[in-house]
Structure 1
């Protein structure tokens, strides 16, 4: 439950994250494919940055040993590119701001859910490592489709082994502990057989699925982490097909392993849209992007009552306005992404399984949380 002042006290722990008084900090009129009427001026959009907002509350995972886990996704840091709806020229600033913000909070672990870089260039990875050297907390990362070598790259990209050496506890798949939570990290961006070398699609290889099937029963509060999304996400975001060229290949066997092992939550990035979905009965939590609107990270507070998820902005008003302007002008796809983001954030909390069942209109009372 929340304290009277709006601060999270899941598991008796107060991480200092307070819910915004309302959700109009990302409000818009909702018209048009991007959430705006054609010709709208984004400079007039009411954007607020007066604190984190409650994105969701889940009954599981839950643990008697509380844990605070930050999730940072889709930084797309670039040392060479500018513009685009990914706002490349702000990526270093936004990552540094996220690191500084995290250093001011009590978290047990920071998890990066892929696309640390825009194109895997050595200079981009070196800058990422330089910035993360300032992070005061332990961290791990899984790769995104932009972090691994591709046959169409026109520049050198470090091998996956370097990513594993610098950002994991010893390679993929991996398990790390944060309080009472077990993080099970997967590589969905690179296939040992080379089948993903010429595409941005993803997969979970058979050996990783076998490892996961064996590993899940060993943990009371597992959190499975990968970059690519499960198919249930299309329904959660309105069935749009704009991401259709970058899906997870053959997701059924992976979803079956998650469901069969009782995984309470799968954490992903990739979409650049904060969302909650379900596939084969398994919850998926999709992290927003740091590079593009809404330019935010997540904090999961896990305790005996369940898990509270906080959306934490790193964008100033000027940053967010610029990101919206670029998304609106860049392409139909980026306008659609921005529109989905605004619809999702305007509906926070997306799921609330911890609301009292007798609270009028609560998901627990109406059954809408499934």
Structure 2
């Protein structure tokens, strides 16, 4: 089994300070093989915010990879934004903007979807996508991680990243099975699968792990337990009106047939499969005004 923890949208500088230590404790308590951080580690890409984000990430007691989000590009320094948009990220978080990781039969390939020339909208760069496609191995569980989702559910008022639809099609064609993303501050797992036919790519969109915006209603992270074609997702939620995290909720998926379907078998967990979007934030779909 491979255990991967997915964090997104930490937003240090506008984060829920009272939850920070508990989040780090729980991240370490999960004992994941890898922690994947899909962008927006800071709120406004300021040096002090990057320093706080780096301090948190250094406290993670396992391998981790991170990629930038749109908030990790300087907003109030136009010259730095245009000429050296990744300087602070490289100096404090990681010198790799599209890192990768592999253990056993699971590999994670990151893409940097942040665009210095846009405030929110991302971009999928042809060279990065081609490099990721070249590394996808159909004999492995291939996970692609990036900040911006490759597909939106109905009702989302943000624009998709440029070339998102094409990228999803291309990744699916070479055997990518899971896509991890963030950006919307709204949890979604399996909602974009065809309810009858399933799908070859399971898109898992994380809520925000620490952002203090009240309209998000909750902070959260999830854990993926991968056993060959079987996947169990633990969703850990901390409501804004609660001091910490509630007991985890479980979702199960299987791709034994070659396509993902909810309700896979997890021998260690007798909980019945939950709906694919348990407790999703209904009011947080409109995030463009403050995101």
Please give the TM-score of this superposition, normalised by the length of structure 2: 0.73
**2:148 is the counterpart of 1:228:** yes
1:315-341: CA deviation from partner (whole Å, max 9, x where unpaired): 574358xxxxxxxxxxxxxxxxxxxxx
**2:92 is the counterpart of 1:163:** no
| Structure 2 gap segments, 5+ residues each | 194-198, 254-260, 267-271, 275-291
1:104 CA displacement: 2.0
Hey, what does 1:73 align to over in structure 2?
8
Instruction: Name the SS of the counterpart of 2:30 in structure 1.
Output: coil
Q: Contact 1:121–1:155 at 8 Å: present in 2 too? A: no
Q: Contact 2:234–2:251 at 8 Å: present in 1 too? A: no
* Structure 1 or 2: more helix by fraction: 1
* Pairing partner for 2:133 from 213, 218, 226: 213
1:175-194 equivalent positions in 2, closer than 5 A: 175-190=100-115
1:232-251 equivalent positions in 2, closer than 5 A: 233-234=152-153, 239-244=154-159, 247-251=160-164
Instruction: Name the SS of the counterpart of 1:260 in structure 2.
Output: helix
Task: Measure, in 1, the Cα distance between the counterparts of 2:18 and 2:105.
Answer: 33
1:219 CA displacement: 5.9
Q: Structure 1 residues 222 and 348, CA, compared in 2 at 3 Å: closer, same or farther? A: closer
Instruction: Name the SS of the counterpart of 1:171 in structure 2.
Output: coil
Hey, what does 1:105 align to over in structure 2?
30
Instruction: Name the SS of the counterpart of 2:242 in structure 1.
Output: helix
* Pairing partner for 1:300 from 213, 224, 227: 224
CA RMSD of aligned residues (A): 3.2
* Structure 1 or 2: more strand by fraction: 2
Higher Cα Rg, which structure: 1
Task: Measure, in 1, the Cα distance between the counterparts of 2:5 and 2:232.
Answer: 12
Task: Measure, in 2, the Cα distance between the counterparts of 1:243 and 1:100.
Answer: 33
Task: Measure, in 1, the Cα distance between the counterparts of 2:130 and 2:8.
Answer: 26
1:132 CA displacement: 2.0
Q: Contact 1:113–1:269 at 8 Å: present in 2 too? A: yes
| Structure 1 gap segments, 5+ residues each | 1-65, 79-87, 191-195, 321-344, 364-370
1:183 CA displacement: 0.8
* Pairing partner for 1:268 from 181, 184, 191: 181
1:196-245: CA deviation from partner (whole Å, max 9, x where unpaired): 423310111010121122111376111100010122x32xxxx114224x
Hey, what does 1:366 align to over in structure 2?
none
1:259 CA displacement: 1.3
Q: Contact 2:39–2:69 at 8 Å: present in 1 too? A: yes
Task: Measure, in 1, the Cα distance between the counterparts of 2:158 and 2:85.
Answer: 26
**2:86 is the counterpart of 1:140:** no
The one of the two structures with greater contact order (alpha-carbon pairs below 8 A, sep at least 6) is 1
Instruction: Name the SS of the counterpart of 2:68 in structure 1.
Output: coil
Q: Contact 1:224–1:266 at 8 Å: present in 2 too? A: yes
Hey, what does 1:130 align to over in structure 2?
55
Task: Measure, in 1, the Cα distance between the counterparts of 2:104 and 2:91.
Answer: 24
Hey, what does 2:201 align to over in structure 1?
282
Q: Structure 1 residues 219 and 185, CA, compared in 2 at 3 Å: closer, same or farther? A: farther
Q: Structure 1 residues 219 and 144, CA, compared in 2 at 3 Å: closer, same or farther? A: farther
Q: Structure 1 residues 92 and 153, CA, compared in 2 at 3 Å: closer, same or farther? A: farther
**2:229 is the counterpart of 1:354:** no
Instruction: Name the SS of the counterpart of 1:104 in structure 2.
Output: helix
Instruction: Name the SS of the counterpart of 1:99 in structure 2.
Output: helix
1:166 CA displacement: 4.4
Task: Measure, in 2, the Cα distance between the counterparts of 1:132 and 1:175.
Answer: 17
1:57-96 equivalent positions in 2, closer than 5 A: 66-78=1-13, 88=14, 90-96=15-21
Please give the TM-score of this superposition, normalised by the length of structure 1: 0.59
